[in-house]
Copies of this chain bind each other. A is one copy, B any other.
Amino acid sequence: MIANTSTPPPTTRVDLAERPGETRKQREVRVREARILSVAREQVLEGGYLGLNMDRIASEIEYSKGTIYQHFRNKEEILLALTNDALDTRLRMFEAAAGHVAPTRVRLATVGAAAEAFVEQFPYHFKVEQIVRAASIWEKTSPERRRLMESCERRCMATVVRIVHDALAAGELTLDDRVQPEEVVFGLWSIYLGAQIIAHTSHALNEIGIESAVSSLRTNQSMMLDGYRWAPMSDDYDYPFHMDRVKQQCFRHEQFAPR
């Protein structure tokens, strides 16, 4: 961030439209930051962490390297900014999904559809998130950005936890005393994350015997919720059909794209 232009906290959601009461300078800064991230995202998508090259970013946005370092303290900050964009995008998709009026398990399936749509529409987001999780880049980044990321993660979790609570209240789900609502969400999170990572990183998935990772994921997730006896059970409701429809109707457009 430029030090003396009193920018808002480092969210990287940058709106390119004019903003009232903003100097030309401030707008330039905002737009340039967006361009840096846009170029960076492409590079990461192509070549991962090593593909992200400060000199190349500089030449592509036609500013000098020093200018980039006025926006981001180092390479890792750029990665974390990209990750924050990703998490923010997903959070908005989840919140839109969770707001649908339907039985709790159907709402949950809608969130599942959002999760599917997220990786399909924004594969670079997913990839960046993986890189940040694996590489030891946390130490080099600013606490503000880290906190932003954690808060995003917590809110994402909370969105789903709320559905579990609603299900308990509605009597559509009953939990053993020893099992917390958060643990159910942990299970869903695990299975989605794991399946998507395998699908993206395991070479020759169909050699292993998996034709469609998405459909397998749906089956397994359904089996888990059936195990919890969350009504309506998968025999009584066509969740795959619902998910396909929701994905087409609500998550089709790029309305959730970060910029």
Residues of A within 8 A of B (CB): 47-51, 130-131, 133-138, 146, 150, 153-154, 157, 161, 179-184, 186-187, 189-195, 197-198, 201-204, 207-211, 213, 216-217, 219-220, 222-228, 234
Q: Are A223 and B219 in contact (CB under 8 A)?
A: no
Q: Within the assembled complex, what's the spacing in Å between the Cα atoms of A51 and B226? A: 44
Kindly identify which residue among B157, B161, B195 contacts A194, using a CB–CB cutoff of 8 Å. Answer: B195
A220: chain B residues within 8 A (beta carbon): 183-184, 186-187, 190-191, 224
Chain B residue nearest to A46 (CB atoms) is B136
Kindly identify which residue among B134, B202, B204, B227 contacts A224, using a CB–CB cutoff of 8 Å. Answer: B227
Minimum CB–CB distance for A18 against chain B, Å: 38
Q: Are B150 and A204 in contact (CB under 8 A)?
A: yes
Minimum CB–CB distance for A55 against chain B, Å: 18
A209: chain B residues within 8 A (beta carbon): 157, 161, 180-183
Q: Within the assembled complex, what's the spacing in Å between the Cα atoms of A132 and B207? A: 20
Minimum CB–CB distance for A207 against chain B, Å: 7
Minimum CB–CB distance for A254 against chain B, Å: 26
Minimum CB–CB distance for A114 against chain B, Å: 17
A179: chain B residues within 8 A (beta carbon): 219
Whether A133 contacts B227 in the complex (CB less than 8 A), given A187-B220, A220-B186, comes out as no
A227: chain B residues within 8 A (beta carbon): 222-227, 234
Q: Within the assembled complex, what's the spacing in Å between the Cα atoms of A226 and B223? A: 8
Q: Are A134 and B134 in contact (CB under 8 A)?
A: yes
A207: chain B residues within 8 A (beta carbon): 154
Q: Are A210 and B183 in contact (CB under 8 A)?
A: yes
Q: Within the assembled complex, what's the spacing in Å between the Cα atoms of A135 and B116? A: 22
Whether A186 contacts B195 in the complex (CB less than 8 A), given A208-B157, A223-B227, comes out as yes
Minimum CB–CB distance for A137 against chain B, Å: 8
20 example contacts (A-B, Cβ-Cβ < 8 A) are as follows A47-B136, A130-B134, A146-B203, A150-B204, A154-B208, A180-B211, A183-B216, A186-B195, A186-B220, A187-B216, A187-B217, A187-B223, A189-B194, A190-B190, A190-B192, A193-B194, A194-B194, A194-B197, A223-B228, A225-B227
Q: Within the assembled complex, what's the spacing in Å between the Cα atoms of A208 and B186? A: 9
Q: Within the assembled complex, what's the spacing in Å between the Cα atoms of A197 and B190? A: 8
A228: chain B residues within 8 A (beta carbon): 223
Kindly identify which residue among B138, B180, B219 contacts A183, using a CB–CB cutoff of 8 Å. Answer: B219
Q: Within the assembled complex, what's the spacing in Å between the Cα atoms of A138 and B50? A: 12
